[in-house]
């Protein structure tokens, strides 16, 4: 199972909005609504930011939102803040009854 | 509050095995699956497999089939992941993560703090 495809890096200025894409196939992203997004700061464990494509866990800012179209899911962060600078990973359930992660995207807040 | 507390760092020789523990608290241990995810230094997340603490059923990524074992002790709310035939490529931080029961593998809402496993001659 190949990793989902994410851009290696994205950047934005404080207050701006950015989007991170996560491209898979009909056997994973396109076939199931089990796409999640995780934020990871250096030296820390990942933190769940979005689950079920577009659901936010309690306590996660509403500046984070998720969506999906076909085989590509997206995480959008609006009103960028310095604390959003981190690595972001998508994940999806697959038709092989396994889970696959994206390669990760480094977000830089300029 | 929900917590997953993992065992400490390990240094192993090539060919050896390592067993990492993950002690759960703050919720009913048998009501959520436990998954294991690893991350080599500077690299991305890699899913290894899942275990249902109630039934003991497991599922693994093909890459780890035959080399990984996931077990539990319900009396002490602890999950274990054992990886055998270690090579330098297994040097990584290993995380346990909680997943709601249901169809498929969904989201991981709580994570352990990670356990560094270093494989060195």
Q: Does A92 touch chain B (CB under 8 A)?
A: no
Which of A24, A99, A102 should be substituted to probe chain B, the one whose Cβ sees the most B Cβ atoms within 10 Å?
A99
**CA–CA separation, A92 vs A27, rounded Å?**
10
Is the CB of residue B21 less than 8 Å from the CB of residue B8?
A: no
> Rounded to an integer, what distance in angstroms lies between the CA atom of residue B60 and that of residue B112?
19
Nearest by CB to B107, which of A51, A97, A103? A51
Where residue B104 falls among pLDDT bands split at 50, 70, 90? confident
3-class SS of residue B89:
helix
pLDDT band at B102 (very low <50, low <70, confident <90, very high): confident
pLDDT at residue A21 tops 90: yes
Degrees to nearest 5, angle at CA A58 with B113 and B34: 40
**Contact partners, residue B50, CB within 8 Å, separation at least 6:** A99, B33, B34, B35, B36, B58, B59, B70, B99, B105
> By three-state DSSP, how is residue B5 classified?
strand
Q: Under an 8 A CB cutoff, do B109 and A57 touch?
A: yes
State chain A's mean pLDDT as an integer: 96
Mean pLDDT of A31-56: 97
Residue A25 makes CB contacts below 8 A (sequence gap 6+) with A31, A71
What is the reported pLDDT for B18? 98
């Amino acid at each position: 199972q190949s990793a989902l495809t994410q851009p290696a890096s994205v950047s934005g200025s404080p207050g701006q909005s950015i989007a991170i894409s996560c491209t898979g196939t009909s056997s994973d992203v396109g076939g199931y609504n089990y796409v999640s997004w995780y934020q990871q700061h250096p030296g820390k464990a990942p933190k769940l930011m979005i689950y079920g494509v577009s659901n936010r866990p309690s306590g996660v800012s509403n500046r984070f939102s998720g969506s999906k179209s076909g085989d590509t899911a997206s995480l959008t962060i609006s009103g960028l803040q310095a604390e959003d600078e981190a690595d972001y990973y998508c994940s999806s359930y697959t038709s092989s009854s396994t889970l696959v992660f994206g390669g990760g995207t480094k977000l830089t807040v300029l | 509050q929900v917590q997953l507390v993992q065992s400490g760092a390990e240094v192993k020789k090539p060919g050896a095995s390592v067993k990492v523990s993950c002690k759960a608290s703050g919720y009913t241990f048998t009501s959520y699956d436990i998954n294991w995810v690893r991350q080599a230094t500077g690299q991305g997340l890699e899913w290894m497999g899942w275990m249902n603490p109630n039934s003991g059923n497991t599922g693994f990524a093909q890459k780890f089939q035959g080399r990984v074992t996931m077990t539990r002790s319900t009396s002490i709310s602890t999950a274990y992941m054992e990886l055998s035939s270690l090579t330098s490529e297994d040097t990584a931080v290993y995380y346990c993560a909680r997943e709601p029961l249901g169809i498929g593998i969904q989201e991981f809402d709580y994570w352990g703090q990670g356990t560094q496993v270093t494989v060195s001659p």
